[in-house]
Each structure stands twice: as structure tokens, then as C-alpha cells.
Amino acid sequence: MFRWLIPLLLMTLPCYGSWLVADESARLSPQPHPNNNAAGDLLLDGLIPNIAPTDELGWEAQIMRAKLLAEWGNRAQAIRILEALLAKNPQDPEALMLLAALYLEQNQRTQLEALLPNLQTIPDLQPIALYLEGRIALWRNRAGQARSRFESALQLTNANDSLYPTLLFYRGYTQELLGRTAEVDEAIAHALAAGFRAHEALERTILARYYLRNKQPSKAIHLLERGLDQQTLADPHYLKLIADSYFAANLSTLALDSYSAAISAGSKDPNVYAKRGHLQRRKGNLVMAWKDFEQAIKLGAEDAALFLAAGINGLETGQIEAASHYLASASDGLPKHATVHYLAAFGHYLTSDWKNASLRLERLNTSAHPLADERNLLATFIQLRASAEKAGKEDLSRLDGIAGVDTVPALMRDIMTGKTDPDQALNTVATPAGERKGKAACALAFWLGEWHLTQGRQAKSRSYFDKAIALGNPDFLEYQAAHWRLQQQ
């Protein structure tokens, strides 16, 4: 569920691995309506005279007025006109189809169900009646029944009929609801090829998910943005989907704002909080990111990638104990990710859990991994700290496995074996390609503080921890680790 986080997270750690209708005219798209009601009525009367429906001319005039009002967005008045017409002639096909389309769009389920018997009595409208029965079944969460109705309607519908693409589309949607994922995209592609166009919010969300699955976020964005109105702007699911589309298109600011809008609209989806947290972290808002990751987990998300995100962010914000817990969970859930095991071991080390720190490092047991030198350095310090508590003998043998030159592990090896002066090492430490300026020096100062700490030189260790903070930035892991140590002393 949250696997999208893993590559994004590891990329930010350079030192650790460098989403009715019978004809198209009835699928009503909202157009701007004159803001002033009186002006709108005058314009409407000027275009189509308000003739009483006492003859064919008057009837057609009222039908046209209803269509125009619906296109302007005044659906309530359009519905009133059509309901008045059907009170006089309940079997008028055009009024029935228009009113059914408006009821669908306005989600007026009771009224649509009451309209169905009139549609069912007209032979030529049987496909439409079956389509509407399918939509009602969807409202009742009866996907199998809905699929049956759409299939029956397709059997009665010619491929050239404008209802045909809509039936194909909803048949595909029922396949999604029934878990037939392999068939969904093929069915929706078939509907699009047949001329389907999304008009309702539900259709836009179904189609947007199709575009996102097929790596076409720009199409999803265009589709969803055109559907923004008072109703969709208050729908947390719709807002999440448009945020996911911005996210997939790397439009970070729009994605962040849209996830925030979804939360303001009442979203309780942990993915919304997780993705907003990731974006907050990417923008440097680490404390706000931490709150979002925590909220995602509180909402019941138990996913290793989310635990990894929360753990890294916790280390960056000084939430060391909570971060250690999350990283341990991430290590359990991501057995093939060596970087996660190293970070989990580092978290255990900072919280003096030597046993679990060693166990996590054992999972990173390949000398070919880019973190092999860091592993050997950390393993040495785990042994030193554990031995100091038990008055055991120091063992620096793991340092022999460090192969680098002028890297933090290599310089610590030389310092700990008396071959290099610490201050000289701080001047010569190399910054690996892709790593931020000051990161290596901050890390070296932290480990120097750790070395003096193992030797019982408290004042000296504090001076190097202070130096790590002076050389680094708050989002460096070693910066927060040094700050943690100073709080403990």
C-alpha cells in the first residue's frame, strides 16, 4: 500500500544508498449560468418563449427551456419543469430521459426509482431502464446485480447507439468492484474507444484511476479539474484522487494543497496523511511531516514502508525512541532492504539496545553492499558500548573490514587505531558524490564523540557532539543523534 515511499525515502538519504443516458445531448455538462436570476430569466425568455405546454409547440418549448437551464447549471428549475411536464404526460420519452439524467447527476435516488416504472413500459427505452436499474444496484452495493443489468442492456443496444459506450464503461466498473482487475482496464479502454466521455463525479473518479494505473496523470488531472464544483470540492475521496494525480505528475505544491483540502473535508485515509507527510518532508517541513506520519499510523496503517518513512523522519526530528520502534517494524517488513536494517540498528544503538542493534546488523551481512563500511563501524561501537557496560575487553577487529579512504568509517578506523589525528581528519573527510555539504563532517564529529564516550572522556565527547551540531543541519541523522546524546549527558 505504501511501497511508493521506499525509493522516494532512500533517495533522500544520499549517504545510505546513494488514480444516461440515451444520447449525448442528455449527458448534461454544466455551463456558466447568468449570475443574476432575473437577468437569467430574461435571457431564457428571449431565447425560448415561456409557452404553456398545451400543444406540441408549447411542449417542445418547455423541453428546450429545461435543457438550457440544465446546461447553465440551474438543475433544480430544469427538474421542476420536467416533473410538471410528466405530471401531464408520464410517458413522454424525451422528458423521461432528461429527468432521469438529472436525477442521476443530482444523486436523487428515490426520485429515480419512482421514475423507473414509466421507463419500463416503453419498449424503446428498455436499454435505458436496464441501465438505470444497474446504477441503482450500484448505489445499493450490489455489483453482481449491476453487472447483470448492464450486460442485459448491452444485448439490446446497437454498437452505434450513444448509450453503448456508457454501458461498456459501467460493465468495466463492476469488474473492478468484483475484483476482476485483469479485465478492468481492457473494458474501460474499449469504452473510451467507443466514444465514452465522463460527466458525473463517479465516472470521473473511475476514469481517473484508470489513467493513474496507466501512468497518464496529466489526463487524470484534466478530467478531475473539469469536474470541480461545490459538491466535489467537499468530497474527500475526489480531492484525494486529484491530489494523487498531482503527486504522480510531480506537481508537489498542488498535491500538498489538495491533500490538505481532502483532510479539511474530513478524510481519514492514512494514505492521504502519509503522502502529505512525504511532501512536507521533501519541502523541509520535518515537524509537520512527523505529525502526518504519526496520524497515518494512528489511523491503522500498518505498512513497512510507512514505518520506514516515520522512522527516518523521527530520526531527523529527534524523536529517537519512537523512530527506533518504527524502524524496527520497517526492518521486519522489508527483509531485502539493507539500508532499512542499518537504520534500524542505528536507532537501537542510540537507545542503548545493543542486542537488537546487533541482530538488525546481522541482516546486512554482505561485504558487497555500499553500507558495508558503515556496518563495520556501527558493529564496532555496539561491541564497545556493550563491553563497557560489562567491563569486557575492547574489540576493534571489525575495523579491519573497512576498505574506504577519507570516508567517515575509514577515518574513524585510523583515529581509533592511532594512525590519524581527529582534527586533521575533520579537515580531510571527503564528501561522497551526491551528499550534501557538511554531512560527512557532521557524521565524523558525531562518531568522534561516540569514541570519546566509550573511553570515558565525557567532556571531550560533549565537545565533539557540539561540533557535530555546529557543522550539520537539523535534518542530518548524526545532528539529531548528537543532540540526543547531549540530552542524555
Q: What is the mean pLDDT of each run of 10 residues along the chain (489 residues)?
A: 61 43 35 46 56 74 86 86 92 91 88 92 92 94 96 95 95 93 91 94 96 97 95 96 98 97 97 96 94 95 91 93 96 92 95 94 76 92 82 74 88 93 89 83 96 93 96 92 91
SS (H, E, C) the chain: CCCCHHHHHHHCCHHHCCCCCCCHHHCCCCCCCCCCHHHHHHHHHHHCCCCCCCCHHHHHHHHHHHHHHHHHCCHHHHHHHHHHHHHHCCCCHHHHHHHHHHHHHCCCHHHHHHHHHHHHCCHHHHHHHHHHHHHHHHHCCCHHHHHHHHHHHHHCCCCCCCCHHHHHHHHHHHHHHCCCHHHHHHHHHHHHHCCCCCCCHHHHHHHHHHHHHCCCHHHHHHHHHHCCCCCHHHCHHHHHHHHHHHHHCCCHHHHHHHHHHHHHCCCCCHHHHHHHHHHHHHCCCHHHHHHHHHHHHHCCCCCHHHHHHHHHHHHHCCCHHHHHHHHHHHHHHCCCCHHHHHHHHHHHHHCCCHHHHHHHHHCCCCCCCCCHHHHHHHHHHHHHHHHHHCCCCCCCHHHHHCCCCCCHHHHHHHHHCCCCCHHHHHHHCCCCCCCCCCHHHHHHHHHHHHHHHHCCCHHHHHHHHHHHHHHCCCCCHHHHHHHHHHHHC
The pLDDT score that the predictor gives to residue 21 is 34
The pLDDT score that the predictor gives to residue 70 is 84
Q: Does residue 361 contact residue 382 with C-beta atoms inside 8 Å?
A: yes
Rounded to whole angstroms, how far apart are CA atoms 164 and 360?
58
The pLDDT score that the predictor gives to residue 5 is 60
The pLDDT score that the predictor gives to residue 309 is 94
The pLDDT score that the predictor gives to residue 18 is 34
Contacts of residue 35, defined as CB under 8 A and 6 or more positions apart, other chains included, come to: none
The pLDDT score that the predictor gives to residue 14 is 44
Instruction: Quickly count: other Cβ atoms within 10 Å of residue 37's Cβ.
Output: 11
As a residue count, the chain comes to 489
The pLDDT score that the predictor gives to residue 389 is 61
